[in-house]
Chain A
């Protein structure tokens, strides 16, 4: 059983489209992080959200932490081919960082 459920697992869209990736759990997290991973490399941190209801923006990416600190979303506006990759959410709980299954995003030109 996955503690953090990400959806969708796969997403293939055209350049210019918008998309949202969800990260849900029944557990409360101290913080939630989003990472991006490219083939053959380790994940790289995009953002950390700490406060319930917090919204952070990173250029065309908008991250939101749920009010109850159990879920998060990542919204990408006007996706570009350079956004292609594996997006992973991770929740901090009891001194450990637990990851979701990941969302494989493909943006076609």
Chain B
């Protein structure tokens, strides 16, 4: 069972570079989301999607773009990386229901120098 797969696991970028964090799920979940995790801050929601073609902003969307062209994939794009975006990024998926659990990937550790 693959579940939620994130790539890459680790990435180092220089300030100003761009990159895409990949997320794929094989559970046919309509809901997908991206969080960043920083020490003492818990998980903060960046963007989320309730289905293909639909995306919305979370708590900290600035500097990040998303798109949802298929149910399975939800990539996160950093257009011009900044040191403040150094973090661990988690992708999660679930059913579109307020009491459904989220299934998380194992994260991407990003360092921006």
Contact = CB atoms under 8 A, between A and B. Distances in A.
Contacts, number: 64
B104 A44 contact: yes
A101 B42 contact: yes
Interface string A43-76: 1110010100000000000000000000000000
Interface stretch (B14-22, B69-77, B78-86, B95-103): B95-103
Given A42-B4, A42-B104, A99-B43, A48 B99 contact: yes
Contacts of B53: none
A42 B4 CA distance: 10
A31 B104 contact: no
Contacts of A82: none
B106 A31 contact: no
Contacts of B42: 2, 4, 6, 88, 99-102
Contacts of B35: 99
A101 B40 CA distance: 6
Nearest 5 A/B pairs, CB to CB: A42-B104, A45-B101, A30-B98, A99-B43, A101-B42
12 contacts: A2-B42, A9-B40, A33-B99, A40-B106, A40-B107, A42-B104, A42-B105, A88-B42, A88-B43, A90-B102, A92-B99, A97-B45
